[in-house]
Amino acid sequence: MKIWIAAALFGALPLPAFAATAADIPPAIYTDPAADKAHPAAMEVVHIPSGKVAINGVVYIAAGAGPHPTVILCHGLPGNEKSLDLAQAIRRAGWTVITFNYRGSWGSPGDYRFVQNLEDADAVLAFARDPANATKLRIDPKRLVIMGHSMGGWVTAMTAAHDKALLGAAMISAGNMGWLGKLPRDQAVKALRSNGTEALAGTTPEIMADELIANVDRFDFVKAAPQLAQTKLLVLTSDDGLAEMSDALTTAVAKAGGKSLKTVHVTTDHSWSDARIRLQSEILNWLATLVD
């Protein structure tokens, strides 16, 4: 648990990352796509119904007539690192990307709750699958991938466990919120407070800790491993103190018979601060295996 507390406080020191070799770096990372005047790349602000409100989202539409395979990109807690450089690289590779802010975060209406993060991810997937939205935004609703960083990796695992229509799921330095709920309340509160809550509405570290404690088993993504055994899953870990959590999940997925699992560990910090090209390369090379 001491490792988890340190990670929750983001106190792990960054270590130098292994550089991706030139052969590993997809051209989309350093090359813009050919201009398509009829169907240009675009950015669309959207408001996605979830619960009784509409959460804020941005769609990075890939160039070309499409329909394009699409990534749902989930940020963490509170979401200071939104991985928008990754979103842009994925778009250059021909995928559309939907980013969004959970209820009560970064200006989306409502109060922030972990259970609602899961509901919001489902709502974004429903939005992408709606025929009107898919047509307007050039989305291929049959080729959807979910991925997320940190707490967003937890959202990714929990969502992929029950959404069997997804093309795949990718977790980046994921934190298992069920593990945090196992901490003594004062330690959980301290860990949550250290992340900052100024971008979150209608909550406090105490409210968040109580929700995690009350849902300790329900929020444990390791318990979802049997439901992830058939998922095409990419799990990326770093030297942030959280790798143990993802390792527990991947071990359980493999034990449950998972055969479409790829794991990569990189010596960098929680935000992949000195390994952004490596991160983009790993993601794009994996996404290329999911489509013809």
Give the per-residue pLDDT at 197.
86
Question: Tokens representing 60?
Answer: 């990075």
Distances (CA, A) of 273 to 263, 269, 270: 19, 6, 8
Q: What is the pTM of this model?
A: 0.92
Owner of token pair 């929750």: 8
- For the chain, the domain total comes to 1
pLDDT of residue 268: 98
**What is the domain extent for residue 264?**
2-30+39-288
Phi, psi of 16 (to 5 degrees): -65, 135
DSSP conformation class of 69: E
What CATH number is associated with residue 219?
3.40.50.1820
Q: Do residues 74 and 158 make contact, with C-beta atoms less than 8 angstroms apart?
A: no
What mean pLDDT is predicted for residues 52-73? 98
Quick check: 113 pLDDT over 50? yes
Query: Residue 230: how many CB atoms within 10 A of its CB?
Result: 14
Residue 208 makes CB contacts below 8 A (sequence gap 6+) with: 112, 114, 192, 197
Bridge partners of 263? 235
Confirm if 72 and 147 have CB atoms less than 8 A apart.
yes
Q: What is the pLDDT of residues 209-264, one digit of tens each?
A: 999 999 999 999 999 999 999 999 999 999 999 999 999 999 999 999 999 999 99
Q: What is the pLDDT of residue 2?
A: 40
